[in-house]
Chain A
Amino acid sequence: MDVLYFAWVRERIGLPREQIETDAATVNDLVAELRAREDRYDMAFSDLGALRVALDQQLSDFDAPLAGVREVAFFPPMTGG
């Protein structure tokens, strides 16, 4: 699946998007896999309360299932307007 990062999440991880092969069942499982990879991921995901997640461009939750999802995006709370 494609995993996208925006704003300071993108800056901390150091890239805007990547393709990830995963069997993670939920967003939380995917986050745990990413955090185990490297310190920069661990730091970016250290406070999930400060993060939002979108699945296929719809706002979702960290306990949502990933079955059938093609695009996951992580970002801080939005500041439009």
Chain B
Amino acid sequence: MRITVQEAPFDLGAEANAFAAGRMDMGAIVTFTGVVRDLPGDPLLAMEIEHYPGMTEAALTDIATRAQERWYLGDVLVIHRYGRMAPGEAIMMVATAAPHRRDAFEAAEYLMDFLKSRAPFWKREITANGASDWVEAKDTDEDALSRW
């Protein structure tokens, strides 16, 4: 398992290749990447992400550990950035490796669902019109946890 919280951009291809390398017993690698999305109507200049150093790493490790207990996984990777990023930049990625695809897909979804509302990150959107608003958590994100 690798959990990385960093300000710097990461290379999705290099990370995915490194994650997949050297394992002969994993038939399925799933990766998910979250990307800063531009807003319709009021163009997004930047997204800023604040986090809680210490708790962030602990929460991500806890979520990944629970995924490993629940599914048959060879490995789990979570990279999440903080700080300022532009539209189109990758915010975070998860990767799961499993012998079979169902475990890899389900574990990746589980990781994303919990990471969205149980890892201490807060997003703020800065738009061309001068708005600078904290992104509000959605009820649907909380509801998504109940299926697990």
Q: Residues on A close to B: CB < 8 A?
A: 4, 6-8, 54, 57-59, 73, 75-81
Instruction: Sort A-B residue pairs by CB-CB distance and give the 9 closest, nearest first.
Output: A77-B137, A80-B121, A57-B55, A7-B122, A81-B116, A80-B119, A79-B123, A79-B135, A80-B115
- Asked if B52 is an interface residue, CB under 8 A from chain A, the answer is yes
Q: How many Å lie between the Cα of A7 and that of B52 in the bound state? A: 10
CB of B84 to closest CB in A, whole Å: 15
Sorting the interface of chain B by its residue count into under 10, 10 to 19, 20 to 34 or 35 or more gives 20 to 34
Report yes or no: B58 in contact with A57, Cβ–Cβ below 8 A.
yes
Q: Which of B39-71 contact A (CB under 8 A)?
A: 50, 52, 54-55, 58-59
Partner of A78, one of B58, B92, B112, B137: B137
**7 more A-B contacts (CB under 8 A) besides A54-B55, A78-B117?**
A7-B50, A57-B58, A59-B59, A75-B122, A77-B137, A79-B122, A80-B121
Q: Which chain B residues lie closer than 8 Å to A54 at the CB level? A: 52, 55, 120
Partner of B52, one of A8, A57, A81: A57
Q: Which chain B residues lie closer than 8 Å to A4 at the CB level? A: 52
Q: How many Å lie between the Cα of A8 and that of B132 in the bound state? A: 11
- Asked if B34 is an interface residue, CB under 8 A from chain A, the answer is yes
Q: How many Å lie between the Cα of A44 and that of B136 in the bound state? A: 16
